[in-house]
């Protein structure tokens, strides 16, 4: 029995050497090598034994398919912006979000070329905005989603619903 165990160890060592020798590359990147050192001493039976005992690599795990739910960072047209206010004096510096439901005068710093602009009409199709100053009259009709430019101030109509308009005022 000792002879069989010794033979088993020798066969295992030969098999391991054959497997390790097959893992190298001869420098051509094709795995076949060039020259005789890599394949020296190998017989077809040894090569067949080495390839038949090596387990196939496990495929990488595949993540389960999930449904993609699109997300958006925009505010729906039906919702009022949380930062909107009815305090018209908050717009004095040319930056605010207001909600208006009737014609109003919005005071702004005179550096914009006028001391106030007016929302003169709110309707289902948008709002009308006017500004007067130093021999100038500016007037613009703006649909929901549109922006009016009054000198250095931009008035964006975020939405209009039921006679109420949400406006976003900014300056350049």
My answer on whether 44 and 116 are in the same domain is: no
pLDDT at 119 over 50: yes
Q: What is the pLDDT of residue 120?
A: 97
- Residues 42 and 113: their CA atoms lie apart, in Å, by 93
Residue 98 inside a domain? The answer is yes
The total number of structural domains that make up the chain: 2
pTM of structure: 0.51
Token pair, residue 100, equals 């208006």
Q: What is the pLDDT of residue 55?
A: 61
- Once rounded to an integer, what is the mean pLDDT over residues 31-43? 46
Residue 160 inside a domain? The answer is yes
Token pair, residue 84, equals 């909107």
Most confident of 76-80, 131-135, 142-146, 150-154: 142-146
DSSP states of 39-93: TTT--HHHHHHHHHHSPPPPPPPPPPP--------SPPTTSPPTT-BS-GGGGTT
Residue 145: domain span: 88-171
Residue 83 inside a domain? The answer is no
């Amino acid at each position: 029995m000792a002879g069989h165990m010794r033979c088993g160890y020798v066969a295992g060592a030969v098999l391991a050497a054959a497997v390790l020798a097959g893992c190298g590359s001869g420098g051509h990147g094709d795995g076949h090598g060039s020259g005789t050192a890599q394949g020296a001493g190998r017989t077809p039976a040894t090569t067949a034994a080495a390839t038949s005992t090596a387990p196939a690599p496990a495929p990488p795990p595949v993540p389960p398919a999930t449904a993609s739910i699109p997300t958006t960072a925009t505010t729906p047209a039906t919702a009022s912006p949380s930062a909107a206010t009815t305090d018209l004096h908050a717009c004095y510096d040319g930056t605010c979000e207001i909600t208006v439901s009737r014609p109003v005068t919005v005071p702004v710093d005179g550096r914009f070329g006028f001391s106030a602009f007016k929302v003169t009409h709110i309707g289902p199709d948008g709002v009308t905005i006017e500004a007067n100053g130093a021999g100038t009259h500016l007037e613009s009709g703006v649909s929901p989603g549109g922006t009016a430019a009054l000198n250095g101030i931009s008035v964006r109509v975020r939405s209009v619903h039921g006679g109420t308009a949400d406006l976003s005022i900014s300056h350049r």
